[in-house]
Amino acid sequence: MIKRARHLAFAPYVAFLAVFLGWPAFYVFRSALAPISASRSPMLEAVTGQFRGSFVYSLQLSFVSAFLGLVLGAMVAIALVRLQHVRGLRNIVVGYSSVAANMGGIPLAFAFIAAFGMQGLATRLLREVNIDLIGWGFRISDFWGIVLVYLYFQIPLMTLVLVPALDGLRRTWHEAAQSLGASARQYWRMVALPILMPAIFGGFLLLVANAFAAYATAFALSSGSSRLVPVQIRFFLQGDTITGKTNLGYALAAWMVILTTALVIGFQLLSRRAERWRR
Amino acid sequence: MRATRLVWWLVLVVVGLFYLVPMLSMARFAFQRIPVIKLSLDNVFDRWTVEPLFDTFGDPNFRKAALLSVMLAVATAVATSVLLLPTMVVAHLRSSRARKLIEVSAVLPFVVPAIALVVGFAGAFRNTFPFLIRHPLGLVPLYVITALPFTHRTLENGLAALDLRTLVNASRSLGAGWVRTMVAVIAPNMRASIATASFLAFTVVLGEFTIASLLLKNTLPLYLAYAQGQSPQGAFAVGLVLVVISTVFVALSNRFARTVKT
C-alpha cells in the first residue's frame, strides 16, 4: 500500500511529460511518417526536394557559427587562464558569458540591427576607418550576418564549457611533462589537448544543436523570409490551410528532432568522458 | 611573456567590444533622436531622451502584452516548483536510480526544438483539447517544459546540499503529513533554489518567441516584433529593458547558486 503510494508520487510529473512533451513529439513523427501517396513519403520528400537546400543552409549556418564560436570561445577561456592573476577578471567574464549565452530572440536581433544594420552604429564607425561592410555586400539578414549574430551566444557558451575543463588541467601534469623535457608546445599537443578533446568536441556539438534549433533571432532579422528550416516549418503549419503539404512540415520538424537528438546524445557522451579527468 | 599577455588582453578586449557594441548601439538608437547618418562628434550628447520608452508604456497593446507575459512568467515559475519539487524530493529519498531517471527526463526538452514542440502540440491538441490552444494560459505547460533543463538543474543542486532524509524523518516523526512537510519544512529550506529556478523560468518566458508566435499569443516578444515596424525606437527601448531584466535575473540566479554551494 505504502509502496504503491510512493510510485504514485511520480505520476503527476511523468504524466505531465508524457502529455506535453511525449505526445507532441509522437504526433510530429506519426504525421511525418504518414505517406502522402502510395509512393511518396514526407520524410523522404523533406530532404530530397526543394527543402534539401533549407537543411543544407541551416546546417551550414550551425556548423560555421559553432566552429567560429569554438575558436573564439576557446581563446577567451585560455585568456582567462593566462590572466588569472588579474583579480575579478574571471568573475566578470564568466558572469557576463552566462548572461550572453542565454541571450537570443527578438532583443538580440534588435541589438544587431542597431549595430550592424544598414544604418547601424558599428557599420557607421567602421566606415569611418574605411571598412565598408555594406559596400562589401554584408547584410545582417544574410548568411554571414546571421553567423555574426549567433556568435553573440555561441562564443560565451563555449567559454562556459571550456573554463571548467581548463581548470581540470592539473599543474602537476604540466610539471611532469616539463621534467621529462617537453616543450610548452609538446605539452599542449601531447598532454593538454588530448585531455581537453572530449570537452572541446562535446562543446562543439552543443553549439551546433544550439544554432540549429534557434528560430526567433533569424526570423526577426529576415522579417520572416529566411530559408532556415524552422522558418520553413512555420510556413507549412501556421495557417493549416495548404492541404496535403502539412505532413511535409511535420517531416521537417521530425528531421530537426532526429538531428538535435543525435547532437545532444553526442554531447552527453563526450562530456561524461571529459569529466573522467576531473575527479 | 609580457608580449603574449598583451595578446590575451587583446582577445578579451575585442570579444568584450563585440559583447558591448550591439547593446550600446541599441541604447543609442532607442534613446537618441538623431539618425545614425547625421551623427558626428559634435552632437553625440544631444537629444537624448527616454520618451520612446514612455510612449510605448502608454500603448494599450504594449500593456496587454506585458501583462500577459508577466502572468505567464509567474504561472510558469509556480507550476514548475509545484510539479518538480515534490517529485524530486521523493526521487532523492528513494534511490539514486530514480534521481538519475528524472535527470535524464529533464534534458529531454533539449532534443525537441521549440518549433517542433509547438507544431506537435498544436496538431495533437487541436481536435482533442482546443481550449489549450486558444487560451493564453495554454502556453504555461509548454513553457514549463522549455525551462525544465534549467530549473531542474537548479533545484537538483539545492536538494543535493540538503540533508533531506533527516529533515523529512524529523518532520514526519513530529506528526506532519507529506503536504505539510513539503510546505513547512522543505520549501523554506529550498528558498534560494526555488528563487533561482523562478528567475530562470522568468527569463525563459519573457524571451520566448517561437511558441507564442506559432500559437498566435501576443506576448511581449511578439509585441516587439510587431512594433519594430510601427515605432522602432519604442520597440528597441523595450527590447533593451528586456535585456537588462534578463541580465539581472541571470546575475541573481548566479549569486543564489553560489550561496547554495557554500
Question: A26: pLDDT confidence band, cut at 50, 70 and 90?
Answer: very high
Residues of A in contact with B29 (CB under 8 A): 114, 121
One-letter amino acid at A187 equals Y
Q: Which chain A positions have a beta carbon within 8 Å of B203's beta carbon? A: 102
**A50 vs B: CB within 8 A:** no
Taking the CA atoms of A57, A63, A66 and A70 in sequence, report the sign of the dihedral they define: negative
| Distance between A192 CA and the closest CA of chain B, angstroms | 19
Q: DSSP letter string over B169-231?
A: HHHHHTT--HHHIIIIIIHHHTHHHHHHHHHHHHHHHHH--HHHHHTT---HHHHHHHHHHH-
Give the residue from A211, A97, A214, A225 showing the smallest Cα distance to A161. A97
User: With an 8 Å Cβ cutoff, are A107 and B113 in contact?
Assistant: no
- What backbone phi and psi angles, to 5 degrees, belong to B216? 55, 45
CATH number of the domain that residue B245 is part of: 1.10.3720.10
Q: From CA A120, how far away is CA A131, in angstroms rounded? A: 13
Tell me which architecture the domain covering A42-278 has in CATH.
Orthogonal Bundle (1.10)
Q: How many domains does chain B have?
A: 2
Question: What does the pLDDT read at residue A85?
Answer: 86
Is the Cβ–Cβ distance between A110 and B235 less than 8 Å? yes
Integer-rounded Cα radius of gyration of chain B: 23
Residues of A in contact with B144 (CB under 8 A): 16, 20
Q: What is the pLDDT of residue B1?
A: 63
The alpha carbon of residue B248 is apart from the nearest alpha carbon of chain A, in Å, by 9
Neighbours of B226 (CB within 10 A): 13
What pLDDT, in 10s, does the model give residues B141-194? 999 999 999 999 999 999 988 899 999 999 999 998 888 999 999 999 999 899
Q: Which three cell numbers stand for residue B195?
A: 528563487
Nearest chain B residue to A233 by CA: give it: B115
State the burial class of residue B137 (Cβ atoms within 10 Å of its Cβ: 0-12, 13-18, 19+).
middle
pLDDT band at residue A70, thresholds of 50, 70 and 90? very high
Question: CB-based contact (8 Å) between A13 and chain B?
Answer: yes
Q: How far away is chain B from the Cα of A148, in angstroms, using its nearest Cα?
A: 10
- DSSP conformational letter for B136: G
Shortest CA distance from B81: residue in chain A: A13
pLDDT score for A1: 44
CB contact under 8 A, B116 and A233: yes
User: How many residues are there in chain B?
Assistant: 262
Question: Is A5 a residue whose pLDDT tops 90?
Answer: no
Tell me how far the alpha carbon of residue B89 is from its chain's centroid.
23
Give residue A144's pLDDT.
Answer: 93
What span, in angstroms and rounded, lies between the C-alpha atoms of B55 and A34? 51
C-alpha gyration radius of chain A = 23
Interface contact flag, B209 A106, Cβ < 8 Å: yes
Q: Which of B19, B22, B246 lies closest to A114 in CB terms? A: B22
Contact of B230 with B162, CB cutoff 8 Å: no
| Helices H / strands E in chain B, number of each | 14, 0
Query: Which residue has 530549473 as its cell numbers?
Result: B151
Which residues 99-158 of A are in CB contact (within 8 Å) with B? 99-100, 102-108, 110-112, 114-116, 119-124, 151-152, 155-156
If asked whether residues B125 and B217 sit together in one domain, one would say yes
Q: Are A247 and B128 in contact (CB under 8 A)?
A: no
Q: How many CA atoms lie within 13 A of A209 on its CB side?
A: 26
Q: Are A190 and A182 in contact (CB under 8 A)?
A: yes
What 3-state DSSP class applies to B235?
helix
A248 CB neighbours in chain B (<8 A) are none
pLDDT number for residue B259: 67
Chain B residue nearest residue A266, CA to CA: B111
From chain B, the residues in CB contact with A264 under 8 A are: 107, 110-111
* Same structural domain, B120 and B35: no
Tell whether B9 and B113 lie within a shared domain. no
B250 Cα to chain A: minimum distance (Å): 6
Least reliable range by pLDDT among A38-42, A57-61, B143-147, B183-187: A38-42
Between A and B, how many residue pairs show a Cβ–Cβ distance under 8 A? Answer: 230
Q: Do B228 and B246 belong together in one domain?
A: yes
CA atoms lying within 13 Å on the CB side of residue A229? 33
Does residue A269 sit at the B interface (CB-CB below 8 Å)? no
Instruction: Kindly state whether residues B89 and B5 are assigned to the same domain.
Output: no
**Are B36 and B114 in the same domain?**
no
**Among B41, B45, B24, CA closest to B33:** B45
Query: Which candidate from A27, A82, A111 shows the least CB-CB separation from B8?
Result: A82
Residue bearing the bigger pLDDT, A183 or A159: A159
Task: Test A21 with B26 for CB contact under 8 angstroms.
Answer: no
Of the candidates A42, A46, A45, the one whose C-alpha atom is nearest the C-alpha of residue A32 is: A42
Q: Which three cell numbers stand for residue A198?
A: 572530449
Given an 8 Å threshold on Cβ–Cβ distance, is B18 in contact with A120? no
Q: Is A124's CB within 8 Å of B37's CB?
A: yes
End-to-end CA distance of chain B: 36
Instruction: Collect all residues of chain A within an 8 Å Cβ-Cβ radius of residue B145.
Output: 17, 20-21
Q: Residue A37 — very low, low, confident or very high, per pLDDT cuts 50/70/90?
A: low
SS3 A86: coil
Which of B28, B49, B70 is the last residue before a domain boundary? B49
- Is the predicted pLDDT of residue A272 greater than 60, yes or no? yes
Residue spans of the domains in chain A: they are 1-33, 42-278
Please check whether residues B150 and B254 belong to one and the same domain: yes
A260 in contact with B, Cβ within 8 Å: yes
The span from the CA of A22 to the CA of A32, in Å, is 15
Mean pLDDT of chain A, nearest integer:
87
Residues B137 and A20: their CA atoms lie apart, in Å, by 14
Task: For residue A266, give Cα distances in angstroms to A209, A260, A269, A270, B13.
Answer: 10, 10, 5, 6, 33
* A122-131: Cβ within 8 A, 24+ apart: A122/B21, A122/B22, A122/B25, A123/B36, A124/B36, A124/B37, A124/B39
The answer to whether the CB of A265 falls within 8 A of the CB of A202 is: no
- Which parts of chain B sit beneath pLDDT 50? 262
Residue ranges making up the domain that contains B127: 50-261
Range A239-259 average pLDDT = 77
Q: Which pLDDT tens digit goes with each residue over A74-98?
A: 999 999 988 988 888 998 999 999 9
Please enumerate in sequence order all residues whose Cβ is within 8 A of that of A95, keeping only pairs 6 or more positions apart, or say none. Answer: B251, B254
CA distance A20 to chain B (A): 7
- ipTM of the shown complex: 0.89
Claim to verify: residue B31 and residue B44 sit in the same structural domain: yes
Beta bridge partners of B20: none
